[in-house]
Amino acid sequence: MKVYLISLGCPKNLTDTEVLMGKLVAAGYEITTKPAQADMIIVNTCAFLKTARDEAIQTIKKMAQWKKKGKCKQLFIAGCLPKWKKQDRFSLSPWERELEGEGFETLVDGIVDSIGLFNYCTPRIKATPPWYAYVKIAEGCNNYCSYCLIPSIRGKLKFRKVNDILAEVKGLAKRGVKEILYIAQDTTAYPKLAQLLSKTAKIDGVHWIRLLYTHPLHLTNQVLKVIAKEPKIVKYLDLPIQHASDKILRLMNRRYTRHFLETLITKIRRQIPKIALRTTVIAGFPGEGETEFRELLDFIRWAKFDRLGCFAYQRETGTPAGKMRGQVSAKVKIKRVQQVMGVQARVARELNNKLIGQTLEILIEKAAGGVYIGRSYMDAPEIDGQVLVNSKKSLSPGEFVKVRIKKARAYDLFGSTA
Task: Please determine whether the domains at 132-353 and 359-417 fall in the same fold group of CATH.
Answer: no
Torsion of CA 212, 201, 188, 84, to 10 degrees: 50
> Could you give the CA distance from residue 181 to residue 380 in angstroms, rounded to a whole number?
9
Amino acid letter at 347? Answer: V
**pLDDT (mean) for 224-232:** 98
What confidence tier does 108 reach under pLDDT thresholds 50, 70, 90? Answer: low
pLDDT for the residue 92: 42
Nearest to 182 by CA among 227, 213, 204, 150: 213
So where are the chain's domains? 2-112, 132-353, 359-417
Q: In 260-342, where do the E strands start and end?
A: 276-283, 307-312
Instruction: Tell me the fold of 132-353.
Output: pyruvate-formate lyase- activating enzyme (3.80.30)
Q: What is the mean pLDDT of residues 26-37?
A: 93
For residue 190, what pLDDT is reported? 97
**245-288 tens-digit pLDDT:** 999 999 999 999 999 999 999 999 999 999 999 999 999 999 99
Is residue 416's pLDDT more than 50?
yes
* Beta sheet of 233-238, edge-to-edge order: 132-136, 179-183, 208-211, 233-238, 276-283, 307-312
Nearest to 76 by CA among 45, 39, 41: 41
Element (H, E) at 400: strand 400-408
Q: Are strands 412-417 and 386-390 parallel, antiparallel or unpaired?
A: parallel
Is residue 69 very low, low, confident or very high in pLDDT (cuts 50, 70, 90)?
confident
Q: Is the pLDDT of residue 25 over 80?
A: yes
Tell me the whole-structure pTM to 2 decimals: 0.92
CA neighbor of 73 nearest in space, from 35, 103, 104: 35
- 2-112 has which CATH code? 3.40.50.12160
The CATH number of domain 359-417 is 2.40.50.140 = yes
CA–CA dist 99, 57 (Å, integer): 8
Q: What CA–CA distances, in Å, run from 67 to 62, 112, 120, 346, 347?
A: 10, 18, 35, 49, 49
In the chain, pLDDT over 90 holds for what percent of residues? Answer: 79
pLDDT at 98: 55
